[in-house]
Structure 1
Amino acid sequence: MKKTLLPSMALAALIGVTGCSKSNNTATGDNAAVGSEETTILRFSHFWPATAALHTDVFEPWAKKIEEESKGMLKVEIYPSATLSTADSTYDSTAKGTVDIGAQVQGYVSGRFPLTEITQLPGLSSSAGQLSCMLQTLYDDGVISSEYEDTHPLFMMASGPGAFHTIDKPIRTPEDLKGMRIRRPSEIAGNIIEAAGGTPVGLPATDLYTSLQRGVIDGVSTPWDAAGSFRITELVNTHTTMPLYSSALLVTMNKDKYESLPDDLKKVIDDNSGAQMASTAGATFDSEDAKFIAEAKAKGDTMINISDPLNDPAWQGILETEIQKYLNSVEAMELDSQTVYQKAKEASASCKS
């Protein structure tokens, strides 16, 4: 009896061990399969309000398309209104991986993107669509790409020409800026304001309404879409529109996050990057400009339009001087500003609609 029982027990134990071992291997395999099919969350930070057209008409549809084309393997969570990173730190936050995707105005970080800011100089663009095309072209051609090597840019974009928005203070000539505290969105715009005798004040778009309301600044220099999106048009009643400068922007992704994706998911990102998205964003900015201009006219605001300031006797001298000063400052960084400026002019001509 004992002799029969012992071999039987040993056999049962062996079967049990073998069975457990097989079960564990299967479980490990299943877990690995499930792990490989887990959704990757991409946190997207930007500073526009959730009501802005850029958020509702560009970023949200883009995020939805990424999710659909990845069959749910990628999900973009959008954080508007600078809730995840400040307006002037989003690029660095993306580079460091604090956020996965970020949108920023390059001019918010003075001196960080000197070659890109050449595209914002007066006379190079007259619409958001044109500058968005210019920026994407110069990036794709390698003219400005060296400035973005610490991230994985998805698409370039730009707002329309800047405007001065003030309360009861028309600005027709540079002299009208004397003594005024004007918010400046970039180094180039700030230099022009200062050269005219004004005081440029650096503020992100998120702080414009309260700063103007409290009298911290006397006026705002910003494109029309931002003036409307951030409700500046509620406070001001005088506007001077001219292509004094334009604002370059971009949407970029953390490089390590992008590289960690499998090839099929990288392709989803790649298929929704580049020139087509630049065009979509540019068209949205231009549409918003037109809408807010029409609203300002309808409420009886004073509208001043200077369509070609480089050939306007009042503005020509100061603008030509500031253009050359900026190009010289970039040259002093041992960067070939003149070549980039020439390439920007060529892109301007090819992108003009």
Structure 2
Amino acid sequence: MKKLFPLTLALAALLSFTGCSKEEGPTTNNKDVTTLRFSHLWPASAMMNVEAFEPWAKKIEEESGGRLKVEIYPSATLSKPDSTYDAVAKGTVDLGVQVPSYVNGRFPLTQVAELPGLSSSAVQMSCMLQKLYDEDVIASEYKDTHLLFMIGSEPGTLHTINKPIRKPADMVGMRIRRPSAIAGDIIEAAGGSPVGLPATDLYTSLQRGVIDGMSFPWSPTGSFKLTEIVNTHTTMPFYSSALLVTMNKNKYESLPDDLKKVIDNNSGKEMAKITAKVFDKEAAFYSEEARARGDVMIDIPDPLNDPDWKIPLEAGTQKYLNDIEALGLDSKLVYQKAKEASLACKS
């Protein structure tokens, strides 16, 4: 036992020294890490989450040296799709994706960019929206948050179950999910009955026959697994959806300048372009998958010059512009700016 005692003391001293040196090594103190909770409506498996938002969050963490951490909450688990903007403004969440059309009348100028004939891809739509924001045409609608970047979807598509829509008359009496007031006006002008539903409710609503079909871009149709139910598709650029990623203003202002710069460097037109490319890639994938599966595919590439579709599309457009004008807003000027942005962003 006497021979073991010095060895025991030596081991104890070594362990004590090792423990101290580990604590004194270069580590990031948890108190120095700012965690940003990011709420969006896509499922975790969606291409938008996996190929756009997760790499974005990782890039912010890396460029901040680990001092910024973005925690992603998909599937609207942290805030409802129609109230995410307010949740960000109030600080309930730090970052969030809002679809302006989910809050009717809240972002009327932004939605002018959704009108028929203005964009033919998500890349063009995102470029348009970001340009309108950067040039202060629609920026007034987002003053209570720190907007990071705008996103535009590819043009919407009409999806149904065994009910082809080739002409407006085919929609008469059908209950069609509308993603926005604009699309709703057009569906109504064509004779259909527009129904307002968030994306997260579409699967069960189609299953139960609550709606006969839906107006939805290809990308989220696949992301939300709605391609498992619908089998008839009318691809027609009669509207596009605007989206945005924004940040709580107080949270942004509380960051030191170097961390603000990290956020700024991962905002704006470059991020708008990255997310738009994911939209277009996903749209191509799901539309080709449906075509290969043997789904009924109806293509109307230029509805504004189609004798059947021209009337309801123009009627829906004019109704929306008149409604905005009635609010005391210069819808004609914004529409003109949107058309200019459309030409500038055409690739």
TM-score, length-normalised on structure 1?
0.89
- The answer to whether residue 53 in structure 2 is matched with residue 59 in structure 1 is yes
Deviations 1:301-328 (A, max 9, x none): 0000000110000011111121111111
Where in structure 2 are the equivalents of 1:14-163 lying within 5 Å?
38-163=32-157
- The answer to whether residue 255 in structure 2 is matched with residue 261 in structure 1 is yes
Q: Is the 8 A contact 1:49 1:81 kept in 2?
A: yes
Deviations 1:263-285 (A, max 9, x none): 11000000000000000011110
Question: Percent same amino acid among aligned pairs?
Answer: 70
Q: CA deviation at 1:123?
A: 0.3
Q: CA deviation at 1:220?
A: 1.1
Alignment-derived partner of residue 169 in structure 1: 163
Greater Cα offset, 64-73 or 188-197: 188-197
Q: Is the 8 A contact 1:66 1:272 kept in 2?
A: yes
Where in structure 2 are the equivalents of 1:232-311 lying within 5 Å?
232-311=226-305
CA distance in 1, matches of 2:61, 2:275: 19
CA distance in 2, matches of 1:184, 1:320: 17
Q: CA deviation at 1:38?
A: 1.2
Q: Is the 8 A contact 2:123 2:277 kept in 1?
A: yes
Residue type of the alignment partner of 1:278: A
CA distance in 1, matches of 2:128, 2:31: 39
Alignment-derived partner of residue 191 in structure 1: 185
Residue type of the alignment partner of 1:218: D
* Structure 1 gaps, min length 5: 1-33
Q: CA RMSD in A?
A: 1.1
Q: CA deviation at 1:35?
A: 8.0
Tell me the number of residue pairs that the alignment of Structure 1 and Structure 2 aligns: 320
CA distance in 2, matches of 1:80, 1:318: 36
CA distance in 2, matches of 1:110, 1:175: 27
* Structure 2 gaps, min length 5: 1-27
Q: CA deviation at 1:329?
A: 0.8
CA distance in 2, matches of 1:56, 1:271: 20
Q: CA deviation at 1:194?
A: 1.3
CA distance in 1, matches of 2:289, 2:57: 30
3-state SS of 1:114 partner:
coil
CA distance in 2, matches of 1:164, 1:345: 24
- Deviation beyond 2 Å, 4+ runs, structure 1: 34-37
Q: CA deviation at 1:160?
A: 0.5
CA distance in 1, matches of 2:142, 2:343: 24
Alignment-derived partner of residue 21 in structure 2: none
Deviations 1:200-219 (A, max 9, x none): 11111111111101111110
Alignment-derived partner of residue 321 in structure 2: 327
3-state SS of 2:317 partner:
helix
Q: Is the 8 A contact 1:258 1:266 kept in 2?
A: yes
- The answer to whether residue 338 in structure 2 is matched with residue 344 in structure 1 is yes
Residue type of the alignment partner of 2:143: E
Q: Is the 8 A contact 1:166 1:219 kept in 2?
A: yes
3-state SS of 1:318 partner:
helix
3-state SS of 1:161 partner:
coil
3-state SS of 2:240 partner:
strand
3-state SS of 1:143 partner:
coil
Q: CA deviation at 1:36?
A: 9.9
